[in-house]
Chains A and B, each alone.
Chain A
Amino acid sequence: MADPIHQFQLKTYTTLGHIGHTEIAFTNSSLFMLIAVGLITMFMLWGTSGRGLVPGRIQSMVELSYEFVANTVRSSAGNEGMRFFPFVFSLFMFVLILNLAGLIPYSFTVTSHIIITAALAVLVIGVVIVYGFMKHGTHFLGLFVPGGVPPVMLAILVPIEVISFISRPISLSVRLFANMLAGHIALKIFAGFIGSLLAAGAWGIISPLPLALTVALTALEVLVAVLQAYVFATLTSIYLNDALHPGH
């Protein structure tokens, strides 16, 4: 049966150089990230070039994605959060296109590597921390002190709040990575059943079953790909809301 993990292997195309003993290589992951950025840029430029009062197909798709992310940011972080709109929109489009591109057969799913999602999550939390301290100074630490609690309880609740805050980038990155990884492995395994059953003589009769399941799973994976990009954007704006309004 086909190896379900094989699809996540990094292939080095060229080595760009070394930092210390670490190789800086151009891999298939980098290639797909470049493709995604290129696709997004083309999509946005193409969609906004017409600037018709009555939008065409591409333009209405661009406007739809703008409205979607703008509504997400507004409902989670308020109108003040709109200053982070370019950040959230870039993240959303990047994750969305990478997830969707990963669904094309023989392509590579960049977001199924935890190092990528962790880097994105650390970027989000970094923005929250830096902006929170820039805007509110030490008052930002009020985020960790729940209001209306007797002081004795604070000794327990403050560490819990701190750990809860630190767990945010972990859950943010693990969620996206695990969803993509699990989905692709499940797809690969069920697709592998088809070949194995066909090769097993009479058992080939039931091979349409895994085929139907694979089709259904592919539809589910499209949903998951879009949903995870949306969840990432929503949680980003919820965390940014904490940077804008710390203190409960």
Chain B
Amino acid sequence: MPNDGTPHGNGDKSRASEDVDLSARLERLGKRLDEVRSTGQEQRRPTGTSGGEPSAMGKAFRLSTEFVAGIIAGCGIGWAVDAMAGSKPWGLIVGTMLGFGAGVWNVMRASGFTKPPSR
């Protein structure tokens, strides 16, 4: 227990300093616990995700399907809107463009390029 230079005067003062001391110790303990917890999680994480991104090909495959899926979904929705509303080419055109955007967004999210804001 390091002595952090608290004055040892009369009883009241020493009790107050004891309280301060105790809260400081608690804080330090909490900090150390947090450290241990965070390092423990970091140590556990690699085992949990081992083989998550093993090869460049696996990653490429994942990203390409994300991209293509976005475009397919956009096209599908645009086509469905056209079929229902009878707005023949426009739904497909807008849907494809939005799908393209969604595909790029999917890829950015899948590659960890963007962190969701405020999390």
Query: B117 in the interface, Cβ–Cβ < 8 Å?
Result: yes
Please tell me if A188 contacts chain B, counting CB pairs below 8 Å: no
Q: What 1/0 mask marks residues of chain B from 91 to 105 whose CB sits below 8 Å from any chain A CB? A: 000010011011101
Residues of A within 8 Å of B95, CB to CB, are: 163
Contact assessment for A248 and B119 in the assembled complex, using a CB-CB cutoff below 8 Å:
yes
Name the one of A75, A148, A163, A248 contacting B77, with C-beta atoms under 8 angstroms.
A163
- List B65-119 residues whose CB lies under 8 Å from chain A: 65-66, 68-70, 72-74, 76-77, 95, 98-99, 101-103, 105-106, 109, 116-119
- Are A171 and B65 also in contact (CB < 8 A) when A75-B49, A159-B98, A163-B98 are? yes
Residue among A72, A163, A226 having the largest count of chain B Cβ atoms under 10 Å: A163
Are A147 and B51 interface neighbours, CB within 8 A?
no
B interface, how many residues as a size bin? 20 to 34
**CB distance A156 to B101 under 8 Å?**
yes
Question: What would 11 more interface pairs be, CB under 8 Å, given A71-B47, A167-B73?
Answer: A72-B49, A75-B49, A163-B95, A167-B66, A167-B74, A167-B102, A167-B106, A170-B72, A179-B61, A223-B54, A234-B49
Contact of B70 among A164, A179, A227, A248 (CB under 8 A): A164
CA distance A72 to B46 in the complex (A): 11
B58 within 8 A of A: yes
Partner of A163, one of B51, B62, B99, B118: B99
Taking CB atoms, residues of chain B closer than 8 Å to A248 are 116-119
The interface size of chain A toward B, counting residues with CB under 8 Å, comes to 31
Residue pair B48, A175 in contact (C-beta under 8 Å): no
Query: For chain B, what secondary structure do more than half of its interface residues adopt (helix, strand, loop), or is it mixed?
Result: helix
Instruction: Tell me whether A163 and B49 are in contact in the complex, defined as CB-CB below 8 angstroms, given that A147-B117, A147-B118, A171-B69 are known contacts.
Output: no
At the interface, yes or no: B31 with Cβ under 8 Å from chain A?
Answer: no
Residues of B within 8 A of A234 (CB): 49, 52
A164 with B77, Cβ < 8 A, contacts A75-B49, A148-B117, A227-B51 known: no
State whether A178 and B65 are in contact (beta carbons under 8 Å apart), knowing that A160-B102, A163-B99, A223-B54 are contacts in the complex.
yes
CB pairs A–B below 8 angstroms (18 shown): A71-B47, A163-B73, A163-B77, A163-B95, A164-B73, A164-B105, A166-B73, A166-B76, A166-B77, A167-B102, A167-B106, A168-B69, A178-B61, A178-B65, A224-B58, A230-B52, A234-B49, A248-B116
**Is A197 in the interface zone, CB < 8 Å from B?**
no
8 nearest A-B pairs in the assembled complex, by CB-CB distance: A171-B69, A167-B73, A71-B48, A163-B102, A167-B69, A170-B69, A164-B102, A166-B73
Cβ 8 A contact of B106, one of A71, A171, A227: A171
CB of B51 within 8 A of CB of A230, answer yes
User: Cα distance A230–B50 when bound, in Å?
Assistant: 10
Q: Which residues 53-76 in A have Cβ within 8 Å of B in the complex?
A: 68, 71-72, 74-75
- Bound state CA distance, A68 and B98, in angstroms? 37
Contact of B118 among A71, A148, A170, A174 (CB under 8 A): A148
Residues of chain A from 121 to 177 with CB closer than 8 A to chain B in the complex: 146-148, 156, 159-161, 163-164, 166-168, 170-171, 174-175
Q: Looking at the complex, which one of A148, A160, A174, A224 makes contact with B98 (CB distance below 8 Å)?
A: A160
Q: Hey, which chain A residues are within 8 Å of B66, CB to CB?
A: 167, 171
Tell me the complex Cα distance, A159–B105, Å: 12
